[in-house]
Amino acid sequence: MNKVLLIGAGGVGSVVAHKCAMVPEVFGEITLASRTLSKCDDIAASVKARTGREIATAQVDADDPAQTAALIRKTGASLVINVALPYQDLTIMQACLDAGVDYLDTANYEPKDVAKFEYSWQWNLHETWLKAGRSALLGSGFDPGVTNVFTAWALKHHFDEIHTLDIIDVNGGNHGHAFATNFNPEINIREVTAECRHWEDGAFVETPPMSKHQPFTCPDGVGTYEIYRMYHEELESLVKHIPTIRRAQFWMSFSPNYLKHLEVLQNVGMTRIDPVVYQGVEIIPLQFLKAVLPNPGDLGVTTKGKTCIGNVITGVKDGQPKAIYIYNICDHEACFAEVGSQAISYTTGVPAMIGAKQMLEGKWRKPGVWNMEQYDPDGFMADLNVHGLPWQFIELTPEQAAGFVVA
């Protein structure tokens, strides 16, 4: 019987706990741990009410590898699912090595005091994990995660070479708040305000944050939204592992209201990540802002609308140009009815469960540190359809792909 330790009791952690509990044939014993035990207990009560399954809970400081390794050994887990903060990836990976178990996360490491995220820190551990005979799977969320698998599946079944990749993430949901972020505010705002990087002609090109934007009309009546080009971590791994890609870009939708509030917060210094002294106490403005903003895990109650996330891909097949759009549409209210979550947490949590399932079943398990696109995509793609994130794809003309005309 497989035993797993899930670290992180935010909105995504709640979804992962619920979805793992719904697959008892794979996830035998589940322990949910975080710094705040009461959050774990609340999620465990919801899992019990919705699925009938008991899950264990525990308190852990994931910044402490020795304490985390001790908990891993106590639970008997063979896999740790990390949905804590990206700052904690390296300490949790070290704990997994010390305890001799496998590892999965949904976002790459970034240092706490620098707004910089990249895979180098984790990729540098590949030889160590290889020698230890343990397996680490990086970025098993939606973007990164599903978008990587979409690309690998497209290459396997529809292209001889991929030349351009545009990942488009639209959240058409409305939570009713004046300003809120749909996942951890600290991570969200650091990501959005970072310099944009896109891949073109063999190198990353930097441009000011969100300086390029255009409208995008989603299929199936989701609507038309303004999408902004920004940097996202899956670009780094995809252009490394699929070297025929000539241009890769990531786009995300933002409402005028969100951008207005974000501009004001930046202008008054509330997005700073360097410490300031307030009444004799050192605080990080962005961390304080996180404390006063709505909890993303609580947004499901009021959020209505849908997300639409997918890849526009061009390349060649049998010497002829080809283009496709592969995507998922997810309904916020349906997610809340199933697991008590809004769709942003759901679309990250479900792929974390599926990636863990692939590892525990031995389909995606080999020693070393790996990204999603380095494994065969077919089993994961099939599980998306079974476990709540059905996908579709449509053929495009090269002209449609160039203009993102998919609806």
Per-residue model confidence as pLDDT tens digits over 293-341 = 777 667 667 678 999 999 999 999 999 999 999 999 999 999 999 999 9
Instruction: Decide if pLDDT at 186 tops 70.
Output: no
**What type of residue is 258?**
Y
Mean pLDDT of 139-165: 98
- Confidence check: pLDDT of 181 > 70: no
User: Could you tell me the two tokens for 329?
Assistant: 């549409």
Question: Which residue would you say has higher pLDDT here, 279 or 374?
Answer: 374
Give 395's contacts (C-beta < 8 A, 6+ positions apart): 322, 323, 324
**64-90 confidence digits (pLDDT tens):** 999 999 999 999 999 999 999 999 999
Burial class for 116, CB neighbours closer than 10 Å (0-12, 13-18, 19+): exposed
Task: Tokens for 98, please give them.
Answer: 């010390």
The rounded distance, in Å, linking the Cα atoms of 234 and 271 is 24
Question: What confidence tens digit (pLDDT) does each residue in 206-250 have?
Answer: 999 889 999 999 999 999 999 999 999 999 999 999 999 999 999
pLDDT in tens, 76-132: 999 999 999 999 999 999 999 999 999 999 999 988 766 677 899 999 999 999 999
The phi and psi torsions of 39 (rounded to 5 degrees) equal: -65, -40
Q: Are the C-beta atoms of residues 322 and 192 closer than 8 Å to each other?
A: no
**Angle, in degrees to the nearest 10, between helices 343-360 and 378-386:** 130
More confident residue, 283 or 200: 200
pLDDT interval class at 349 (50, 70, 90): very high
What is the per-residue pLDDT for 256? 76
CATH fold for domain 3-138 = Rossmann fold (3.40.50)
Domain spans, the chain: 3-138, 146-341+391-402
Instruction: Please report, for residues 23, 139, 263, 277, 290, the alpha-carbon distance to residue 352 in angstroms, rounded to integers and kept in the order given.
Output: 13, 8, 32, 38, 24
C-alpha span between 63 and 182 (Å, rounded): 24
Number of C-beta neighbours around residue 223 at 10 A = 15
Handedness of CA 329, 331, 332, 334 (dihedral sign): negative
- Give the position of tokens 């441009």: 207
How far is 50 from 349, CA to CA, in rounded Å?
16
pLDDT recorded at residue 43: 97
pLDDT digit string, tens, across residues 395-404: 999 899 999 9
Q: Is the pTM of this model over 0.95?
A: no
CATH topology for 146-341+391-402 is: Dihydrodipicolinate Reductase; domain 2 (3.30.360)
- pLDDT tens for each residue of 12-71: 999 999 999 999 999 999 999 999 999 999 999 999 999 999 999 999 999 999 999 999
112 closest CA partner among 286, 279, 292, 349: 286
pLDDT more than 70, % of the chain:
95
Determine the pLDDT at residue 183. Answer: 60
